[in-house]
Chain A
Amino acid sequence: MTVPVLEVEDLSVSYKGDRGGAQRVVDGVSFRIQPGEVVALVGESGSGKTTTAQAVIGLLAENGRVDGGAIRLAGADISGWSQKRLDAIRGARISLIPQDPGSSLNPVKTIGAQVEEILAIHRRGDRASNRARAVELLARVGLSRPELRARQYPHELSGGMKQRVLIAIAIALQPSLIIADEPTSALDVTVQRRILDLIDELRREFGTAVLLVTHDLGVAADRADRLIVLQGGRIQEQGPAAEILAAPRSAYTRQLLADAPSLAKAERRAPRPVGEGDDAVVVDGLVQDFDLPGRGGRFRAVDGLSFAVRRGTTHALVGESGSGKTTTVRAVVGFQKPTAGRVLIGGADPAALKGEALRQFRRTIQLVYQNPFGSLDPRQSIFEIIEEPLLNFERLPKPDRARKVRDMLERVGLPQAVLDRRPRALSGGQRQRVAIARALVLDPQVLVLDEAVSALDVTVQAQILGLLDTLQRDLGLTYLFVSHDLAVVRQIADTVSVLHNGRQVDDGPVEAVFRNPTSDYTRELIDAIPGRRLALSA
Chain B
Amino acid sequence: MTSLQTIDRAVPARPARRPAFSWLGRLQPGLLLSWAVIAIVTAWAVAPGLFTGANPLAGVPREKLRAPSAEHILGTDALGRDLFARLVHGAVNSLSGAFVAVAVGLLVGTAIGLIAGSTGRRTDAVLMRIVDVLLSVPSLLLSLAIIILLGFGTVHAAIAVGVTSIGRFARLARSEVILVRRSDYVEAAFGSGGRFGAVLWRHILPNSVASVIALAAVQFGTAILQISTLGFLGYGAPPPTPEWGLLIAEGRNYIATSWWLTTVPGLVVVLVVLAANRIGRSVGRRTI
Contact = CB atoms under 8 A, between A and B. Distances in A.
A362 B192 contact: yes
Nearest to B191: A367
Contacts of A340: none
Contact of B183 (A22, A82, A374): A374
Interface string A335-369: 10000000000000000000000011011001101
A393 B193 contact: yes
A64 B10 contact: yes
Given A65-B13, A369-B184, A377 B203 contact: yes
B8 A83 contact: yes
A335 B192 contact: no
A104 B2 contact: yes
Given A60-B10, A374-B185, A333 B191 contact: yes
Interface string A162-175: 00001001000000
A98 interface: yes
Contacts of A16: 10, 13
A403 interface: no
Interface residues of B, number: 34
Contacts of A83: 6-9
Given A362-B191, A388-B194, A388-B202, A62 B4 contact: no
A412 interface: no
Contacts of B28: none
A118 B16 CA distance: 41
Contact of A91 (B4, B6, B207): B4
A378 interface: yes
Given A64-B10, A83-B9, A106 B2 contact: yes
Contacts of A313: none
B132 interface: no
Nearest to B5: A59
B3 interface: yes
A195 interface: no
B2 A105 contact: yes
Contacts of A389: 192-193
Given A362-B193, A379-B207, A118 B1 contact: yes
B257 interface: no
A59 B190 CA distance: 43
Given A20-B19, A377-B207, A379-B207, A359 B195 contact: yes
A442 B189 CA distance: 13
B20 to A, nearest CB: 12
B216 to A, nearest CB: 19
Interface of A: 16, 19-20, 22, 58-65, 82-83, 87, 90-91, 95-96, 98, 104-106, 114, 117-118, 121, 166, 169, 333, 335, 359-360, 362-363, 366-367, 369, 371, 374-380, 388-389, 391-393, 435, 438-439, 442
Top-3 shortest CB links A-B: A389-B192, A375-B184, A392-B193
12 contacts: A22-B13, A65-B10, A83-B8, A91-B1, A95-B1, A114-B2, A166-B3, A169-B3, A335-B191, A378-B207, A388-B202, A389-B193
